[in-house]
């Protein structure tokens, strides 16, 4: 029989997943002007141990946004073709900033859950000591 997952483990897995999401968002923002860069996407999935779902969340492998890369006209760029165009990045700063805010708020929510679970456990131990 598998052990139940504690609320501390659940919230910690959520914080790890959101941290990974923030890391990918930061990479995307850093590479906004990198020619040919494709936006990295993070997907979440339920963790499975010994063939059973645990309720914890984890990130799946990193995916690349397959939307078309914009053609940028700059004949002086060394990457430009004979017509003066090169492929830009498909990163949209507005979307990345919104994603980073959402991930930050989700991280904070998981942190609050972690702290409240810890406080409840401490209160229970204090009651049992009496």
Tell me the mean pLDDT in the region 61-73.
Answer: 94
Whole-number pLDDT of residue 83 = 94
Q: Which of 52-56, 62-66, 73-77, 95-99 has the lowest mean pLDDT?
A: 52-56
pLDDT band of residue 21 (cuts 50, 70, 90) is very high
79 in a domain, yes or no? yes
1 in a domain, yes or no? no
- Range of the structural domain that residue 97 is part of: 7-129
Tell me the mean pLDDT in the region 34-61.
Answer: 91
DSSP state of 51: T
Is 3's pLDDT higher than 70? no
Burial 109-123 (b: 16+ CB within 10 A, else e): ebeebbeebeeeeee
What is the model's pTM? 0.82
Is 1's pLDDT higher than 50? no
Total of domains in the chain: 1
2 in a domain, yes or no? no
Tell me the mean pLDDT in the region 52-59.
Answer: 89
76 in a domain, yes or no? yes
Whole-number pLDDT of residue 29 = 97
44 in a domain, yes or no? yes
């Amino acid at each position: 029989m598998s052990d139940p997952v504690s609320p501390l483990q659940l919230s910690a897995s959520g914080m790890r997943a959101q941290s990974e999401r923030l890391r990918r968002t930061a990479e995307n923002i850093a590479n906004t002007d990198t020619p040919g860069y494709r936006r990295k996407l993070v997907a979440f999935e339920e963790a499975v141990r010994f063939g059973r779902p645990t309720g914890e969340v984890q990130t799946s492998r990193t995916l690349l946004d397959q939307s078309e890369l914009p053609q940028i006209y700059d004949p002086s760029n060394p990457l430009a073709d004979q017509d003066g165009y090169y492929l830009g990045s498909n990163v949209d700063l507005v979307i990345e900033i919104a994603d980073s805010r959402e991930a930050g708020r989700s991280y904070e929510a998981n942190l609050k859950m972690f702290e409240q679970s810890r406080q409840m456990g401490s209160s229970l131990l204090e009651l049992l000591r009496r």
